[in-house]
Amino acid sequence: MRHPVGIVGFRGYSGEELVRLLTPRSEIEVLLMEHRADSHDRPRPRGHRGPARIGCAREAVREHGLQVVFLATPPEVSMEVTPWILEAGAKVVDLSGAFRLRTVDNYKRWYKEEHTQAGLLAEAAYGLPEFNREAVRSARLVSNPGCYPTAANLAIRPLVEAGVVDLSHGIVCDAKSGVSGAGRKPSLKTSFCEVAENFSAYSLLDHRHVPEVLLTSGIEEQQFSFTAHLLPLDRGILETIYFRTQGIGDAAELVAIYEKRYAGEQFVRIYDAGQVPDLQAIQRTNFCDIGLKWDKATGRAVVVSVIDNLTKGAAGQAIQNMNLVLGLAEEAGLL
């Protein structure tokens, strides 16, 4: 049996990654939903056959019997189309930030816009499977996590839960992302000559991804300092996370906490104490790799967490969520 799924926003980088990962799978039928006609289609060889294109409309959802629709769209588009897609009988995996923050007040604070779908906001399951698997399985609407929070929460939450982070000293998360995280729409900030041979910090202390870390890892805003940076490369996020430990006598104890928490998880990989992953370790994969260094004399710890922003940070995790929603093997098409 084939599962028909739709993609809105298939021309963006996350949308292209969804197409790349889904089209080889024989059990999935991919349909591209034309939300806005634009001319950014790439040149293709003769005879190229991509997935079929359908309208982005209620009837199309019904006619094709779509089981899941991916929204690789800006939040305002996601808020607009989610209600009628759900009504038409498909489930939704939304890659935008529209449904991540639980309350309209929190949304307004961080996104500077009114939220128009308070009910769906409350209903949405936060699609970080490693911490919310059962809710995703039964959800109509899955809110796919932000790229930065995915790398941060997978690294921070197990240690906070284990009680080994001295929160009174706070946690610093210094995050660096490749340019594809900013999307495909041309802008001066992502023009080649402004980014290449350059490196810059942005959204110091007030990035809209911050509340996802606070909500998921259970820490207070004053305990968490986050700054984003733009790397002169295409794909990948590396976060360097600083804190002080309490109740730890050996770096291996930190490694053991991660290994216990992630036993059986297929997409989180832990390194020996003192070894840390780089971006090449995870590019074009759905892995989150985590390594750390700990200083016994002072209890200072540094954790390095890496993901591919388009895979575990967007399309890959969205497919992981789709697999759960459809009752397929969670790792299907991702290993």
The residues assigned a catalytic role are 147
Residue 40 found at the interface with its own copies (CB under 8 A): yes
Residues 6+ positions from 333 with CB-CB distance below 8 Å: 21, 22, 24, 25, 28, 319, 323
Q: Which is nearer to its own copies, 118 or 204 (CB)?
A: 204
Q: Which of 14, 51, 48 is nearest to 182 (CA)?
A: 14
Residue 179 found at the interface with its own copies (CB under 8 A): yes
Binders of its own copies among residues 143 to 172 (CB under 8 A) are 169-170, 172
CB of 306 to its own copies, least distance (A): 9
Q: Which H or E run contains 306?
A: strand 300-307
Q: Which is nearer to its own copies, 57 or 233 (CB)?
A: 233
CB of 223 to its own copies, least distance (A): 9
Among 222, 249, 264, 327, binds its own copies (CB under 8 A): 222
Residue 234 found at the interface with its own copies (CB under 8 A): yes
Its sign, for the CA torsion 185, 187, 192, 198, is: negative
Among 37, 49, 186, 327, binds its own copies (CB under 8 A): 186
Which range touches its own copies (CB under 8 A), out of 53-61, 73-81, 150-158, 274-282? 274-282
Among 25, 64, 102, 184, binds its own copies (CB under 8 A): 184
**CA angle 275-280-285, nearest 5°?**
105
Would strands 68-71 and 125-126 be described as parallel, antiparallel, or unpaired? Answer: unpaired
Instruction: Give the integer Cα–Cα distance in Å for 173 and 310.
Output: 20
Instruction: Say how many C-beta atoms besides its own lie within 10 A of residue 58's C-beta.
Output: 15
Residue 246 found at the interface with its own copies (CB under 8 A): no
Residue 280 found at the interface with its own copies (CB under 8 A): yes
Binders of its own copies among residues 7 to 36 (CB under 8 A) are 13
Binders of its own copies among residues 287 to 326 (CB under 8 A) are 289, 291, 293, 295, 297-298, 300, 302, 304
Instruction: Say how many C-beta atoms besides its own lie within 10 A of residue 48's C-beta.
Output: 8
Query: In this structure, are residues 145 and 317 in contact, taking their beta carbons and an 8 Å threshold?
Result: yes
